[in-house]
Amino acid sequence: MIWVADPTGDTSFFNRLWLETTGQTEAEALGFGWVDVIHPDDREKVQRAFFSAAAGKEAVRSEYRLRRADGSWAWVIDVGQPRFSADGAFLGYVGSVLDITERRAAEIAQQEAQAFIRSIFDSSPDCVRVLDLEGRPLLMNKAGRRIFGLAEGAPLTKTTWDVVGNASDAQRVQAGWEKVRAGETARFEISVRVKDEERCMDVISAPIMGSEGKPIRMLSIWRDITDAKRASEEISRAQRRAEAAADQLSSVLESTMDSVMLLDAQWRVRYLNENAKTLLRIGDEAQGKVFWKLFPKERKGNFGKHCQEIMDRRVRSFFEDYLPSLDRWIEAIASPAQDGISVFCRDTTERRRAEEDKLLAQKQMAHLARHDMLTGLANRMFFRECFDLALSEKSAVSRMAVLCLDLDGFKTINDTLGHPAGDALLRQVSARLVQSVSSTDIVARLGVTNLRSYTAWQGP
């Protein structure tokens, strides 16, 4: 599209392509009528740039939105060059307008993709690093900077392998890097110095391929397993997570060992990695569906409340919650994304069950320590504790009685009928004694056949 303006700035010519594109007549476009088809938000900026250039008789260039004849908007570049006569007199401008709508759309799509990847990159609780093929760090996520105590934007020179690594791991690291340079995935454990402390890291490295299908960078994910090394159960879980994630290292989104999902502002599922599909027991058919329709029980639970808070307040949140739809406990980190939220979560069901089993075992051990294994009655230690407690509460209890019983001839029963019969007799006698006393009385077995009971009461 071609246009010509005189020294005053009035346009005196538009070619046919301008008129066909905008739907203006020649009379409507000439002068400053062309301004009417510029987007209202861009109009003042374009006019200011044009008049400023005209005042200095300089070239002018603007990007703005131009209304097409069908009412849609096109992004264009408008470039005007000053014209001068042979004697140097300023004659005005001649300019051209180029439609760059497709290029702008591609730029916006690229910006959105980069923001999406960055959201996933920075939401990971693990240290994620991008290295060159020599192992020098080029990029590190927020979790990695926290581990090494680096501020945002601080250089990564102090996180190179020769600075933080342990010399004993050098051969293992170099062997891993060689595999990555050859296009393979490598996994190894290393020790690093972090804030004057040695930490153990589980490292997964994978190649980042260029357009020619050859490695151009290395993606490295570090998970701190120092505490897990101190507990075999934690080590086992970390290895399973690492092994599961190792198969998904083809891209940044599939490289994390966590379950990752991205929900848009309407709660539609935009992305699920393989781990998330496994945890949620859904497949690719869930793409585009509203998450709460897939899991309606979670909408009004704590998980739904946390997600709604993150969507509304646009703040990052860490929480642990139970998902009744799946009968699983999860540990989650959720962050606002450009158009929705991203959620990184881990299944902590086995850990919580182990903690519950440990607590139950402790309770059982405490019970066995104070009760006779054969009869279930209180043993000597528990009887003494209760007796001492009753004596110390004289103001509440005015009287107390202790009854001692002994089974005569019990040895004869053991000798003639055998120990199983003797044990059965003791259990039966114990059961009858318990039935004969009140719920506040204590019946204890102090010896082989010696049984004792005490009762405390108020009044004369």
Separation CA 382–CA 293 (nearest Å) = 56
Under the phi-then-psi rule, with left for phi > 0, alpha for psi from -120 to 50, and beta for the rest, what region is 88? left
Q: Are strands 73-84 and 90-99 parallel, antiparallel or unpaired?
A: antiparallel
Q: What is the pLDDT along the chain (460 residues), one digit of tens a residue?
A: 899 998 888 888 999 998 998 899 988 889 889 899 999 999 999 999 988 888 888 999 999 999 999 999 999 999 999 999 888 888 889 999 998 888 888 887 777 766 666 676 777 788 888 889 988 888 888 888 888 888 887 888 878 777 888 888 888 888 998 999 999 999 998 888 877 778 888 888 999 888 888 899 898 888 888 877 766 656 566 566 656 544 544 455 566 678 888 899 999 998 888 888 888 888 889 889 999 999 888 888 888 888 888 898 888 888 888 888 888 888 888 889 888 998 888 888 888 888 777 788 778 787 777 788 888 888 888 888 887 877 776 555 567 778 888 777 777 887 888 888 888 888 888 888 888 888 778 888 877 655 545 444 433 3
Q: What is the DSSP string of 42-60?
A: HHHHHHHHHHHHHHTT--E
φ, ψ of residue 285 to 5 degrees: the values are -65, -15
Q: What is the pLDDT of residue 95?
A: 92
Read off the tokens for 167: 């010399």
pTM above 0.95, yes or no: no
Separation CA 3–CA 66 (nearest Å) = 15
Task: Give me the sign of the Cα torsion angle 82, 84, 90, 91.
Answer: negative
Q: Which domains does the chain have, with CATH numbers?
A: 2-99 (3.30.450.20), 126-255 (3.30.450.20), 259-352 (3.30.450.20), 370-457 (3.30.70.270)
Q: What is the pLDDT of residue 449?
A: 55
Provide the CB-side half-sphere exposure for 150 (13 A, CA): 20
Read off the tokens for 174: 């170099």
Cα separations (Å) of 342 from 25, 122, 259?
Answer: 51, 10, 11
Separation CA 403–CA 442 (nearest Å) = 10
